[in-house]
Amino acid sequence: MRSRVLFAVSIVSSIFATSAAFADEVVVGEPACEPACRAGYACVKGVCMSACNPPCGASDTCTPAGQCAQKQVTPPPPTYTPSDAPPSDPTRGDPTKKAGYQTHDGGYVRLALGGGGIFSTIKDTNDATVSAGAVALEIAFGGTPFPGFVVGGGIFGASTASQPSLSQGGKTVTIDRATVSMLGLFVDWYPNPKDGWHVQGAVGPTALQLTAQAGGNSLNGTGFGALVGGGYEWFVSEQWSIGILGRLQYASPSVSFSTGTTTLTSTKYESSTWAPALMFAATYH
């Protein structure tokens, strides 16, 4: 009986020993990492750890193959020096920096009005002279082929503001009006296109008319004329300027007597006329 008990105990002990040995050979699965580890890291017991051993330095990174490699450094954005900086609009927000601002260039219009005089000499056996105060006028249009240099055309003239006196052979009579006018080509030059100093000159056909209401007679004719002038202007806006203009106009027409449209005599008289003026001018340029 005793031998049977010992045999049974021996069988049970063998079974437990075999089970323990088999358990030692079974590999228990490791827990997975959630989320999955990024490149260069491996999952060890549920924890993402560097695949490189020893760990990489601060300037290196661990590759998926478990090797340290130098980090790729992104270069900083380029900086610009004043010489290669992107161009900007210098006129933005500052009209004084706009091209052509308060500069004598482009289209040109001038209106001028002032006072002066007319002094004429009619050449005869006894020369006759005419003199009187006058109102002077100028209307001119042009363009600027070069900065500060204007060319164009205009009307330049003067007409007596009071009855002029005509003197001949020691005798003086009063007539009603004297007028000198020219349709001419002109130049106007501003040495500094941003400054107001300027000089002008013009040439063209000129008419002279001396009128007496009594009898409706007049002494008139056409010929050559010219003028010179100059002055200074101040800008009052982006393109407009106002200023003072001094001018001297000359005419040398051949004149004859007429009544209305009828010539009283075929005799023509040489003449010369001077018309100085000081004027107020408004110029768009």
pLDDT, position 23: 44
Average of pLDDT values for 206-232? 87
Per the CB < 8 A criterion, the answer to whether 232 and 196 are in contact is yes
Residue 24 belongs to a domain: no
DSSP 36-105: PPPTTEEEETTEEEESSSSPP-TTEEE-TTS-EEE--PPPPPP---TTTSPP--TTTT-GGGSTTTT-S-
Q: Which residue has the higher pLDDT, 97 or 269?
A: 269
Please check whether residues 145 and 68 belong to one and the same domain: no
Same domain, residue pair 188 and 50: no
pLDDT at 256: 85
Q: Is residue 85 part of a domain?
A: no
53: containing domain? 30-74
Is residue 22 in some structural domain? no
179 inside domain: yes
Same domain, 264 and 214: yes
Please give the tally of structural domains in the chain.
2
**266 & 157 share domain:** yes
| CATH number of residue 148's parent domain | 2.40.160
Q: How confident is the model at residue 219 (pLDDT cuts 50, 70, 90)?
A: confident
Mean pLDDT over the full length of the chain = 82
DSSP class of residue 192?
S
The pLDDT of residue 115 is 96
Same domain, 59 and 181: no
Over the stretch 190-201, which tens digit does the pLDDT of each residue have? 999 999 999 999
Same domain, 149 and 258: yes
Summarised one tens digit per residue, pLDDT across range 33-57 is 888 887 778 787 778 877 777 777 7
- Mean of pLDDT values over 147-164: 94
With 0.85 as the threshold, say if the pTM is over it: no
pLDDT tens per residue, range 266-276: 678 899 999 99
